[in-house]
Structure 1
């Protein structure tokens, strides 16, 4: 009876060693991802009737592009970019102040509410001191509704007293 116990023990040990190496898991079929229409609501009430979003807010002669657009948490939009001629958004007008002429840009921020009415337009004073140029690189709105911008400038610029959010510009040269 002893030889049978040895063979059974050897077989049992072999089975246990193989079982520890092999994965004892039943395969679970992967479910495919749903490929359907997006249900996100896209608000477009701030658009003008023309093909360009900004042409509803200014004259045909202005040289601007809406490079940076962010949604406000309370409804509406903030846009920012550079301009080099007079801007008129609703009843708000912004004149270029850089002494370097219309070949270069100045940044601006404009705010429209959720019905498409332009509420404000803001830019820096580029005629301060020797004058300067400014360029906007990004616009963002945080969860509390504060508008943050990033960009860079050359020369001297000033921010006149105006209604609106506080902003910070820093010129760091490395």
Structure 2
């Protein structure tokens, strides 16, 4: 099946317009080369997007694991606190001091855990921000390439 481009080249050739035919073929070659570059950039962008998605999923799994661990720790801690409370009710003031110390340790552990969770969350947000910035840069580069191809074909 002949294409309109092929018909144009043959017609130019038949009219002994060698320079026009050569120029047209050169333009087609440049356009094909630019198209290959754009397609490669698009493929790289898709690969990057998939990798970023995998990293985001990994962060989500880590956060879920931390969340589950925290809930389990809180359940365990609650159970232990109930047991301790029963003993404290049967003992004197020294046991009351021990209870206060355990509460402080729980608060410190909870604070450390919350800091770690916040750190993981911030890392995930930073990774997402970097991914979005990379996507934006890649899209700008593709747009620039596309505009350049359009200018060259005009």
Query: Shorter-chain-normalised TM-score: which range?
Result: under 0.3
TM-score by length of 1: 0.22
Greater strand proportion: 1
Structure with more relative contact order (C-alpha pairs < 8 Å, separation 6 or more): 2
TM-score by length of 2: 0.24
Larger Rg: 2
Greater helix proportion: 2
